[in-house]
Amino acid sequence: MKRHLISAADLTRDDAVLILDTAEEMARVADRPIKKLPTLRGRTVVNLFFEDSTRTRISFEAAAKRLSADVINFSAKGSSVSKGESLKDTALTLEAMGADAVVIRHPGSGAPHRLATSGWIGGSVVNAGDGTHEHPTQALLDAFTIRRRLSGGEGDLAGRRITIVGDVLHSRVARSNVYLLSTLGAEVTLVAPPTLVPVGVGAWPCEVSYDLDSVVAKSDAVMMLRVQRERMNAAFFPTEREYSRRYGLDGQRMARMPEHAVVMHPGPMNRGMEITAEVADSPRCTAVEQVANGVSIRMAVLYLLLGGAEPAVSGSLPPEAASSAPGTAARTEENE
């Protein structure tokens, strides 16, 4: 595995399966009387959060602590960032404190990539969500949840049909999931109002549809995305009611799904908007399971990035990551 986790597109099928298999073992630690492993003792993980988050930050914190790493939580509110400190100066401060890994969430697409490639810090960088770009650990935990529910927790997702519904334009979760799930062999279909489909989606490894009813009937998993009103600077759909009627998931639509199919939501949910309470509270909805799986996935990622030898050369990417970097940068610009 590479030294950083910036984009789900950087992961090969073998990388992804290794992370999922490792997470499967990590999940067993949660059943033990002592939910702790000594593996990352003496390593420091910094959670650098420039954007609000509940699930992801707590999940990374729990994962690092279960591996015995020291955790420093940093949120932009109440830090020198509110006094105008730049990302570079914040990064240099963390480097001076000896951070072995920086888990970063940032409103700017591409901030983790900048942090990883600038040479400001020597540790590993894990993208915990950047703007509307990517959120690779969310995609990994979604794949993990699907694999557990549908494939018995083994192998990849070859031939599974997965539908991602809603605000694809603003969703880093959708982007990471499209790359990761297609790498794992799944057939991904995006369903969204035309105004919420990003430009350049033709280059993504997925299908696009505007009709939810025709797609749900042949989906193995339906992933509902949150309508990100805080990122919407224009009228993307006429009314909320019209949106939820055409693109929301209610009990009637869920009944049309195949019997084994699951409903997923990365959270936080807007009940009544993209998902009804009836669906959210049904046993087919994996939202709470996804949170539990998130800790296992993040333990696996931290272990695989930090568990082995010290990075030989600080601030340099392995050749394959360096060659994929221009592509990442291009995507980033496109989405900013």
Partner 1 sequence: MDSGNKGAAAGRPVLEAPDIARVLTRIAHEIVERAKGADDVVLLGIPTRGVHLAERLAAKLGEITGRPVPHGSLDITMYRDDLRLGPARTLGHTEIPGDGVDGRLVVLVDDVLFSGRTIRAALDALGDIGRPRAVQLAVLVDRGHRELPIRADYVGKNLPTSLRETVKVRLIEEDGRDGVLLGAAAAAGDPSAAEDAETVRSAPSAPGRAER
Number of residues that bind partner 1 (CB under 8 A): 21
Which listed range, 173-181, 204-212, 282-290, 305-313, lies at the site for partner 1 (CB under 8 A)? 305-313
- CA angle 69–328–309, rounded 5-degree value: 30
Among residues 25 and 89, whose Cβ is nearest to partner 1?
Answer: 25
Considering only 275, 303, 321, 335, the residue that binds partner 1 (CB under 8 A) is 303
| Residue burial 236-256, b: 16+ Cβ < 10 Å; e: rest | bbeeeeebbeebbbeeebbee
Establish whether 135 is a catalytic residue: yes
Catalytic: 55?
yes
Nearer to partner 1, 28 or 77 (CB): 28
Max alpha carbon distance in the chain (Å)? 56
Beta strand 101-106 with 44-49 is parallel
* Minimum CB distance to partner 1 smaller for 20 or for 222: 20
Contact 170, 132 (CB under 8 A): yes
Helix axes 55-66, 136-150, angle to 10 degrees: 80
The kind and range of the H/E element at 129 are: strand 124-130
Please, what is the minimum distance in Å from the beta carbon of residue 154 to partner 1? 12
Residue 88 annotated among the catalytic residues of the structure:
no
**Residue 278 in contact with partner 1, rule: CB under 8 A:** no
Q: Which of 203, 255, 309, 313 binds partner 1 (CB under 8 A)?
A: 309
Residue 38 engages partner 1 in binding (rule: CB under 8 A):
yes
172 is in an annotated binding site: yes
Among 30, 36, 333, 334, binds partner 1 (CB under 8 A): 36
Q: Whose structure tokens read 């931290």?
A: 302
Name the packing angle between helices 287-306 and 136-150 (round to 10°): 120
Residue 25 binds to partner 1 (criterion: CB under 8 A) = yes
Is the omega angle on the peptide bond into residue 283 within 30 degrees of 0, that is, cis? no
Catalytic residue among 3, 22, 43, 56: 56
Whether 331 and 67 have beta carbons less than 8 Å apart is answered as no
Query: Is the CB of residue 232 less than 8 Å from the CB of residue 254?
Result: no
Q: Which is nearer to partner 1, 34 or 203 (CB)?
A: 34
Only one of the segments 119-127, 209-217, 302-310, 324-332 lies at the binding site for partner 1 (rule: CB under 8 A); that segment is 302-310
Of 11, 27, 21, the closest CA to residue 154 belongs to 21
Q: Contacting partner 1 (CB under 8 A), which of 7, 22, 132, 276?
A: 22
- Please, what is the angle between helix 136-150 and helix 13-29, to 10°? 70
User: Would the annotation count 205 as a binding residue?
Assistant: no
According to the binding rule CB under 8 A, does residue 62 interact with partner 1?
no
Among 102, 174, 304, 321, binds partner 1 (CB under 8 A): 304
Three-state DSSP state, 103: strand
Q: Is 56 annotated as a binding residue?
A: yes
State yes or no: residue 32 binds partner 1 (CB under 8 A).
Answer: yes
Active-site residue, from 135, 160, 253, 265: 135
State the amino acid at position 203 in one-letter form. A
Distance of alpha carbon 195 from alpha carbon 199, whole angstroms:
10
Residue 201 interacts with partner 1 (CB under 8 A): yes or no = no
**Is 139 in contact with 177 (CB distance < 8 Å)?**
yes
308 contacts partner 1 (rule: CB under 8 A):
yes
Nearest distance from residue 63's CB to partner 1, in Å? Answer: 13
What backbone torsions phi and psi does residue 88 show, to the nearest 5 degrees? -60, -50
Q: Which residues pair with 49 in a beta bridge?
A: 75, 105
Identify whether 133 is a catalytic site residue.
Answer: no
Write out the residues near partner 1 by the rule CB under 8 A.
1, 18, 21-22, 25, 28, 32-34, 36-39, 303-310
For the annotated catalytic residues, the residue numbers are 55-56, 83, 105, 135
Binding residues for L-aspartate, by number, are: 83, 172, 226
**Which residues does the annotation place in the binding site for carbamoyl phosphate?**
55-56, 105, 135, 138, 267-268
